[in-house]
Amino acid sequence: MRRYGDVQLADLGEPQGREAGFARPVVVVTAQVVLDQGPSVVQVVPLTSTIRAYRSEVTIEPDPGNGLETVSAAQCQHIRAIAVGRLAEPIGNVGPQVLNQMREVLADLLDL
């Protein structure tokens, strides 16, 4: 079962302009109550190994729990909805501390 905060590889397709694209890890940010219903589309935040220190990005250190091999930045400004068929099996989960940081950034970006 998919969980809020899972890190999964996803095929985001051919990017246009400066949007995130290609095959890359993403963090699933759809609410768990929705994930429990088995949606066909989920919201994800792409990860990048290019650290820019933007306020709209959250830096994630690799650890055994998240399955990442390099320091990554969650590009909250690139949140998007994708079909679950674009996702591979989870490689880890970012955990509650990183999720809280991402939630705060997303709330600021979406004026929530």
pTM: 0.95
104, part of any domain: yes
61, part of any domain: yes
- For the record, the structure tokens of 25 come out as 């890890």
Residue-range definition of the domain harbouring residue 65: 6-109
1, part of any domain: no
Contact between residue 91 and residue 25 where contact means Cβ atoms under 8 Å apart: yes
- pLDDT value at residue 3: 96
- pLDDT value at residue 19: 86
10, part of any domain: yes
- pLDDT value at residue 14: 86
- pLDDT value at residue 17: 87
- pLDDT value at residue 10: 97
47, part of any domain: yes
- pLDDT value at residue 38: 96
User: Which CATH number covers residue 17?
Assistant: 2.30.30.110
Instruction: Give the chain's domain count.
Output: 1
- Distance in angstroms (rounded) separating the CA atoms of residues 79 and 55: 14
- For the record, the structure tokens of 110 come out as 């979406």
All residue ranges of the chain with pLDDT < 70 are none
